Chains A and B, each alone.
Chain A
Amino acid sequence: MTASTPTGTRVQFRAVTKQYPGHRALDGVDLDIAPGEFVALLGPSGCGKTTALRSLAGLEQITDGEILLDGSDVAATPVNRRDMGMVFQSYSLFPHMTVLENVEFGLRMRKVDAASRRARAEEALEMVGLGVHGKRFAHQLSGGQQQRVALARALVTRPKVLLLDEPLSALDAKVRVQLRDEIRRIQLELGITTLFVTHDQEEALAVADRVAVMKAGRIEQIGAPEDLYQRPSSAFVADFVGVSNRLPGTVSGGGIDVHGVLLPLLAPARPDGAAVALVRPEDVRFAAAGVAATVLTTSFLGALRRTKVALADGTELAVQHGTEVAPTEGAVVHLAFTGAPVALAD
């Protein structure tokens, strides 16, 4: 399948608000997605990420603000005329149609003639690796295959934007990773602007050009995956993206004192006083001397090992290290901090 819009469509949210009775799902969301960009909306349940995606699809009417596609406000455009390709969290193939008929559905709605329809549907199925399954029905496919067909069905009409509403959450771990990578490959191939909603931070970091972390209807931070991980703008983002140890300390002179060790601050303008430092497990290592701790548990994770230790005051923290070191439970170790805390919490 060839991309008809190689440059993609620009998507803009301007102060978008969605108010339900007694609950504000979106609270002045501003988001600018460049043509061909892959943006992930990441956040806990109820943060508004799905509402944002559904508002862009036209499945929800926004209360205030604007949603622009290539500069045009789409508020008055009904969902069936917005030209969006959408893959849903739950399996959404039409059960009474074959795989091929499912993929042809959007083309049929656009009154594409039968021959082109068939050719394009077969091409889309080839693209997702299911060319030979055209005559099957949804109930004859695995969950992963069904979502691939849903992806082909969403893309076959060459939509302006691809919307992915947690399409991997019902799949098992291995299939999830495979399909995730495949979605990214196809997205890059077609150059289609994509909005991907997920609550899985690993998924978001792995595929997106930029990740927007949402909290209570607002975008807390948006940036490249590396920025988000290494320079989170708040304790919430640091906690949500990656694993963080929370170490109580005292801020003074542009650093924070944690168990007698002065750690530098990424944003030294913080006023002096008590604070909690959020330290990544990979920024803590075992050393010959340093902060004493007792090993609680240790887990082998394949390429690395994560060990949970307790400091003298009872604070627990995770240490990520190579598999060549295998601490025994109950052993006394010493810790050194190799990086700055990624964020501070009150």
Chain B
Amino acid sequence: MSRVGIEPRAVTRWLILGVIGLLMALPIVAMVEFSLRGAPGEYTLDHWTGILDPENERKYRGLFEGVGNSLLLAVVTVLIVNAMLVPTMVLVALRFPTLQRWLEFVCLIPITVPAIVLVVGLAPVYGVVSRIFGSSIWTLAFAYGITVLPYAYRAVRAAMDAVDIVTLSEAARSLGAGWLTVFFRVLVPNIRRGMLAASVIATAVVLGEFTIASLLNRENLQTSVLLISRSDPYVATIFALLALLFAFVLLVIIGRVGAVQPRRSTS
């Protein structure tokens, strides 16, 4: 088959890939190299093994708490996105289609508001939130639910646009299904990929969030890493690397789950 069009030659393709890959890998390689530094001119795994050393438990307790808090926040934020945003989007698409543009507008607003401005507005709100729900770390997920809205909205919307959810719902209803059945057995399986993508994005945003947590005096992964970096920059670097790795693994896992084809056998 002859090559046509403007597709670059193999060498050019590999060159572009190589340059971009190098640019992206450089900071990571630098971080790995830094985390392995020991005495001048020597490399050691001491910084890595030291994290789990019982002697250092007290020193790194705050850091592990930050990691735990961020994971909890990620879970709660994902729950908020899937339990609040997805049903709202489905409801608007099916029953109030004229509100679609308004919903999109509202969901995209947070992307235009800098986190620091958001915090100024959120600070008094969190006074009320603390009175109702207490000041546990998980309440920060309400704020994160807002910051991830634009990304989650686009991911779910793309999945919804790929199927005719109005006709599928009407077909299911005409066959005797109630609204809950329509939602869970007909719509969710067909927008599953969008929901997974929204969850991944929400997790990534939460794991990387610093400003809101810091200004609302909450402790998460990023604030802990910043704190520890003042006394132990090696461990801060290791945790930044681990966070990157975690996000990467999550992307791969969820990407694979999302790509699974429908079952081939009947029940």
Contact = CB atoms under 8 A, between A and B. Distances in A.
B177 A135 contact: no
Contacts of A98: 263, 266
B170 A59 contact: yes
Interface string B241-267: 000000000000000000000111111
Nearest to B186: A94
Contacts of B175: 80, 105-106, 109, 153-154, 157
Contacts of A84: 174
Given A90-B164, A101-B266, A96 B176 contact: no
A100 B266 contact: yes
Contact of A92 (B171, B176, B266): B171
A94 B172 contact: yes
Nearest to A96: B189
Interface residues of B, number: 23
B139 interface: no
Interface in B159-183: 163-164, 167-168, 170-178, 181
B177 A86 contact: no
A135 to B, nearest CB: 6
B161 to A, nearest CB: 14
A134 interface: yes
Contact of A80 (B163, B174, B266): B174
Contacts of B167: 88, 90-92
A213 B13 CA distance: 62
Interface string A101-143: 1000110011000000000000000000000001101000000
Contact of B168 (A85, A86, A92, A100): A92
Contacts of B265: 135
B178 A80 contact: yes
Contacts of B170: 59, 79, 86, 88, 92
B266 A57 contact: no
B190 interface: yes
A58 to B, nearest CB: 8
Interface string A134-170: 1101000000000000100110010000010000000
Contact of A95 (B163, B263, B264, B266): B163
Contact of B171 (A82, A88, A96): A88
Contacts of B171: 86, 88, 92, 94, 150
A135 B172 contact: no
A146 to B, nearest CB: 12
B190 A95 contact: yes
A299 to B, nearest CB: 38
B190 A109 contact: no
Nearest to B188: A96
A95 B171 CA distance: 12
A80 B173 contact: yes
A85 B266 CA distance: 24
B174 A86 contact: yes
Most A-side CB within 10 Å, residue of B163, B181, B189, B266: B266
Nearest to B162: A95
Nearest to B267: A101
Interface string B139-159: 000000000000000000000
A23 interface: no
B174 A85 contact: yes
Given A80-B178, A90-B167, A109-B181, A96 B262 contact: yes
Interface string A74-86: 0000011111111
B234 to A, nearest CB: 48
Most A-side CB within 10 Å, residue of B170, B174, B262, B265: B174
A57 B163 contact: no
Interface of B: 163-164, 167-168, 170-178, 181, 186, 189-190, 262-267
Interface of A: 57-59, 79-86, 88, 90-92, 94-98, 100-101, 105-106, 109-110, 134-135, 137, 150, 153-154, 157, 163
12 contacts: A79-B173, A80-B177, A92-B171, A94-B189, A95-B262, A98-B263, A98-B266, A105-B177, A106-B176, A135-B265, A154-B175, A163-B174
